[in-house]
Each structure stands twice: as structure tokens, then as C-alpha cells.
Amino acid sequence: MPDYKLGLDYALEQDRNDSLKHYRSLFHIPKDIQGNDLIYMTGNSLGLQPKQTKAYIDQELTDWAQLGVEGHTEAKNPWLRYHEFLTENMSKIVGAKPIEVVVMNTLTANLHFMMVSFYRPTRTRYKILIESDAFPSDKYAVESQLRHHGYDPKDVLILWQPRDHEELLRYEDLEDILKAQGNEIALILIGGVNYYTGQYFDLNRITELGHAFGCHVGFDCAHGAGNVQLNLHDSGADFAVWCTYKYLNSGPGNLAGCFVHERHAYRKDLIRFTGWWSHNKQTRFNMRQEFDQLPGAEGWQMSNPPILSMAAIKASLDIFNEAGMDKLTEKSKKLTGYFEFLLKQLGETTLRIITPQNPDERGCQLSIQVRNADKSLHEKLTHSGVVSDWREPDVIRCAPVPLYNTFEEVFLLIEKLKHILHA
């Protein structure tokens, strides 16, 4: 653990010695009405815009204007295979093989498409297990899948819950659930990093446990992709989904990513929804061919790629590829550890960190529980120039992102928080 120190001089020294410091200048930083940079700590909700995004989108607009339909083959980045330009960089970010990754659709749509293939209930195995405080969209999607198959979620949706007076989930409790009901569970679906607490789960452990009981295992990595080393291939998970507009900085509501483990790459027996973009590329435009499924994650595509959206993703992934996830996670652990160190100096009278203290069990987000659930503290923090977010009933989430946040910003955030508390 780094030897953290108090005082602004320490923060400034860390920034001077930061090998990634120049990446901040590649992003648009929101400003207050006086033109000063805001302290932006919500990359876990919406990442900042890379300055090169506009040029990437403009390139496609220019090609569309000048080439029309011929842009599919003649554009600088030919549109027919545009999604392929994202695959290698995205696979590096999530720790997968290129054949296992595709960018398509949006997150919850991808989750539904994955459940078409990997939630196949039988007379004896039909339940789904999720974390009790899963992101609401995941819970709604799972409940609707259960109803689609004729089940009442109240009867067959199993919740992995924290113990009384605790916020974090324990693996022993998951093991107990599986020992009792594992033979009835068809699918385990867990958020790779919990949106509320920031707890980063051991994907390998959960997958091995689920597979031991014959369950399919999938992860929603919306809060993990671009934040932690997911190592999806090595995890052995059957599938994973994630969005690109949080840590991956692709823009509001943009497309999502999907992982399907390579052991399923050539399985044509898996039930799935299909469309013409999951058909053999060589005969795709011979419109009267019988369906010929593509191998790998591409075989779950349905429609041709939306180019303007993908251009924004490409702009960000090129930055990630240059910086590298190893260096980003190394800085992230140090920056978030510094944030934790300063927060603890304030004591726990008003605030308490509910995110795991072990750096390997969290990403850059710290979830700060406010005693007595007084939202006014968050509102005052916002008015002071800090962009964080409030999650009911009592948590302020802050995420110092290594690509564009600094040690000085963390120091200044704490000073503002200290001033508000003393006032």
C-alpha cells in the first residue's frame, strides 16, 4: 500500500510523477459558470467526451456526404465491417479473445439476447439467481424472462443477499444457496461490480461454483468494463454484457458490448434470436441463402452496425489501447486508495465508506454512506463544484477515473467536503 500523506504538496507531487497525466488533456472537462473546471467524479455514470470523438464522427459524416451508399465499401473505415474495428481493443479491455467479443445493441437488449440462449428452463431446473441489490434494469429483465417462460418471479427468482446490518455480499452465503437449490437453478446472473456498493466480485469463484452445480453463469459488467481487469475469458463465464458510456466514454446511451465464451463459439445447437448480420459474411448479400450462422460472439448479432455511434466508441477505445488497462488499473488503485485515505481522516461520525477496503475487490468507485441519509450534504457538495451522484437511500458515489481525474482533484474534493461538514 502506498505511503499516503496529507497536504496539497503530496497530491501535486503525485500528479507530476503520473505517467498517464497527459491523457486528461484529451478530454473535455465540464466547467462552472466562471469557466473553472468542475471536479467530475461521475465517470461511473457517464464518462467524459474525448476531444477526438467529434473528428471520428465527422469522418463518417464526410464519407456519407461524399460517397453515399458506396461508403459501405469505400469509406476510410468501410461501414460493412465497422464493428470489427472495435473488436480487438474491446477484447483487450475486458480480457477476452477477439472471437468472444462483439459490440452491438444496448446493454439490456444484449442481456435479453443472452438469456434467450443461456436461460433454457426445464421441468427441474428453472430458477434464476441474482444479487439482491442488482441494478434495476437487470432485475426487470430477469423478471420479464421468467414471466415469458410462464413462471412467477416471486416463486423462482432467488436473491443473494447481504447479512443483517451489512452491505457487502459474502461468498459463503452464495455457496449455501447453491447447496440448497443449485440443482434447480438454470442461470446465475451477477453484476461484475455492484453499482451501489462498488463491490467487485470474484468472477472466477462465482463461475466455478455455478458450473459445479450445472448452472449457466453470466455477468453484467456495466460498472466493470474499463474500470477493472475483468479477465472474462479466464473467468470461464458463459457470457457477459456491458455498456460503453460509463468508464468507456462513448457518449450517452451508446451501444454495448457482449462476450460469449469461445467454448460456445461453434455451437449451432444454442437457441438464439438471429438476423442477417449473424449470417455468413461471404453469402450475406445473396439474399436467398438459408441461414448460415457466424461463429463466435458475432453470431449473436442481428442488424448492421450504427456507424455514427460506433465512431464515438472507436475514438475512446483508441485512447484505452494506447494507455493500456494494466497502467490504468495501477493508477486507479493508487488514486482511489488516496481518496479512501483522506476520507478516513474525516472520521465516521457523518460518513462511512461501504465499498470494500481491499483494492482487489473494488474499482475506482467509493460509495460513501451518509449518516441519517441527509441528501443536503450531496447538494452542498454539488454547489461547491463537485459532480458526484446520490443513490437512495443514503449513498454518495464518487469515482476518480484514472484517465482524466487527478490527485489534486481528490485533495480539493476532500477540502470542500471538510468545509461543508464543519459549516
Give the whole-angstrom CA distance, residue 6 versus residue 286: 67
Provide the 3-class DSSP secondary structure of residue 201: coil
Provide the 3-class DSSP secondary structure of residue 50: strand
Cell numbers representing residue 299 in the block: 453470431
Residue-wise pLDDT for 85-98, tens only, equals 999 999 999 999 99
- Dihedral angle over CA of 401, 403, 404, 407, nearest 10: 70
DSSP sequence for 375-419: THHHHHHHHTTEE-EEETTTEEEEB--TTT--HHHHHHHHHHHHH
249 Rama sector, left if φ>0, alpha if ψ -120 to 50, beta otherwise: left
pLDDT at 1: 63
> The domain 8-48+325-422 is classified under which CATH number: 3.10.50.40, 3.40.50.300, 3.40.50.1000, 3.90.1150.10?
3.90.1150.10
Give the whole-angstrom CA distance, residue 213 versus residue 208: 9
Are 159 and 139 spatial neighbours (Cβ–Cβ below 8 Å)? no
Cell numbers representing residue 291 in the block: 441461414
What would the mean pLDDT of 13-35 be, rounded to a whole number? 97
Q: Which of 403, 341, 393, 346 is nearest to 372 (CA)?
A: 393
Q: Which pairing describes strands 185-191 and 127-131: parallel, antiparallel, or unpaired?
A: parallel
What would the mean pLDDT of 268-279 be, rounded to a whole number? 94
pLDDT band for position 287 (50/70/90)? confident
CA distances from 400 to 81, 129, 188, 364, 397 (A): 35, 31, 30, 6, 10
Q: Which of 282, 205, 248, 302 is nearest to 86 (CA)?
A: 248
pLDDT at 230: 98
> Percent of the chain at pLDDT above 90?
94
Which ranges in the chain are annotated with CATH 3.90.1150.10?
A: 8-48+325-422
Are 81 and 73 spatial neighbours (Cβ–Cβ below 8 Å)? no
The mean pLDDT value of the chain amounts to 96
Considering only CA atoms, give the Rg of the chain: 22
Architecture of the 58-321 domain: 3-Layer(aba) Sandwich (3.40)
pLDDT band for position 423 (50/70/90)? confident
Residue-wise pLDDT for 357-397, tens only, equals 999 999 999 999 988 777 899 999 999 999 999 999 999 99
Which ranges in the chain are annotated with CATH 3.40.640.10?
A: 58-321
Amino acid identity of 186?
A
pLDDT at 43: 98
β-bridge partners, 260:
239
CA distances from 379 to 339, 376, 388, 405, 420 (A): 20, 5, 10, 21, 10
pLDDT at 67: 98
Are 296 and 99 spatial neighbours (Cβ–Cβ below 8 Å)? yes
Burial class (CB in 10 A: 0-12, 13-18, 19+), 132: exposed
Residue 28: DSSP 8-state: P
Give the whole-angstrom CA distance, residue 216 versus residue 184: 12
Give the whole-angstrom CA distance, residue 418 versus residue 116: 50
Residue 127: DSSP 8-state: E
- Dihedral angle over CA of 16, 249, 44, 387, nearest 10: 70
DSSP sequence for 131-188: ETT--HHHHHHHHHHHHHTT--HHHHEEEE-PPTT--S--HHHHHHHHHHHGGGEEEE
Are 120 and 131 spatial neighbours (Cβ–Cβ below 8 Å)? no
Residue 328 has pLDDT above 90, yes or no: yes
The packing angle between helices 325-344 and 407-422, to 10°, is 20
Q: How far is CA 255 from the centre of its chain?
A: 12
Residue-wise pLDDT for 304-324, tens only, equals 999 999 999 999 999 999 999
